[in-house]
Amino acid sequence: MTEPFTTSTSPAALDDLRARLRATRWPDAPEDAGWSQGVDVAYLRELADYWADGFDWPAQEAALNRLPRYRTTLGGHRVHFVHARAKAPAGTALPLILSHGWPDSFWRYTKVIPLLTDPGAHGADPADAFDVVAPDMPGYGYSDRPTGTPPDTIAVAGLWAELMDRLGYERFGAAGGDIGSGISRYLALDHPDRVVGVHRMDAGLPVYLGDRADLAPEERDFLNSATDWATAEGAYAAMHRTKPQTAAIGLNDSPAGLAAWIVEKLRTWSDCGGDVERAFTRDEILTNITIYWLTGTIGSAMRMYRANSAIPPAQHARRVDVPSGFSLFPADLVRPPRAWLDRIANTVRVTEHVRGGHFAPFEQPRSYAEELREFFRPYRRAGSPTCR
């Protein structure tokens, strides 16, 4: 059964949040450390003060509730999703499922959904409208936290295929970034008869099982850069994979700690020139973090990394035959060369954007929406929805 879903946070929950923020025991910081050793404590104190005394969560919650939100049970998991139908004649829109990553939720796509469902209202061709489905992965956002081992990206792809079937979509497009890039990939790999095209914001961190001598020089450079990135920036992922419960104790108890864990990534992975508030307003940052706080999902979200680390290497070696497109944004984590994209997928389109980073649908929603319209346009006839 699929049921409409909205949220209404109790005043007591918000009072508790504010009390915890005001009682934060702040650490010292080396003089002039800034962001060089992790989060800038001075900036975080300002953000925490605003979270406690200026941030209007009820207004943000009301805005989220204006989206058409639902919950349904898939594979034993109660899953929350947005299902926004196109402003177009019935049966003409392309169904599109958008998959998020960490540290976010359906929040990643809230800016881009109206651009995709009603392009005519935003200066684009009304014929490029999508029926958009944007779920929260189990353990993220308003989807329930798994009680046991969380599903990995392969299993979540299976859940999303079931969700699209339940919504009456026989064929559809898939798009995503971060963990959502992997989910979109497995949708194309395991359900190629249903996925008309797959669009990804990244190619994931590379896994190569062959002889590196067989790779092009730019591919070897890409693998080396990914290793360098993991050494310099991957400590959070190692914690998620190995000891997520240790980190979860503090992050689930301290809103300041939770904010530190997330906002440092929003800054480092976005195209903000070192100023996170060039990419996101304070209200936008805190909406994302408050969803994690109120749902208590930081631990369950991290545990998915542990589940994904157990995926057999052979799964990473599979090549996607479904037509694939990639949007490469200049401030994203690691940028694959075209030779690598051709190796791993039936790559028909690669776009190198001038601005944007890891959270492109939020940072550059117009550019991202335009790219999805362009990429999926040739596959619309094949993707016409079959409603049951």
Q: State the catalytic residues.
A: 178, 305, 358
Q: How far apart are CA 144 and CA 136, in angstroms?
A: 9
Q: Which residues pair with 334 in a beta bridge?
A: none
Q: Which helix (H) or strand (E) holds 248?
A: helix 244-253
DSSP strand pairing (172-176 vs 195-200): parallel
Residue whose tokens read 């949220």? 7
Sequence length of the chain is: 388
- CB-CB neighbours of 251 under 10 Å: 23
Q: Which helix (H) or strand (E) holds 323?
A: strand 320-328
Angular region, 254: left φ>0, alpha ψ -120 to 50, beta rest? beta
Cα 284 to Cα 122, 290, 300: the distances in Å are 22, 10, 22
Residue whose tokens read 């009820």? 58
* Helical axes 255-269 vs 244-253, angle rounded to 10°: 110
Q: How far apart are CA 28 and CA 42, in angstroms?
A: 10
Listed residue (304, 73, 97) closest to 185, CA to CA: 97
Amino acid occupying residue 169: Y
Sign of CA dihedral 287, 234, 332, 99: negative
Q: Which residues pair with 97 in a beta bridge?
A: 133, 174
Contact residues for 328 (Cβ-Cβ < 8 A; gap 6+): 202, 335, 336, 350, 351, 352, 353
Q: How far apart are CA 223 and CA 220, in angstroms?
A: 5
Instruction: Please give the angle made by the CA atoms of 111, 2 and 199, to the nearest 5 degrees.
Output: 40
Instruction: For residue 362, give both structure tokens.
Output: 């939020």
Q: Which helix (H) or strand (E) holds 71?
A: strand 69-74
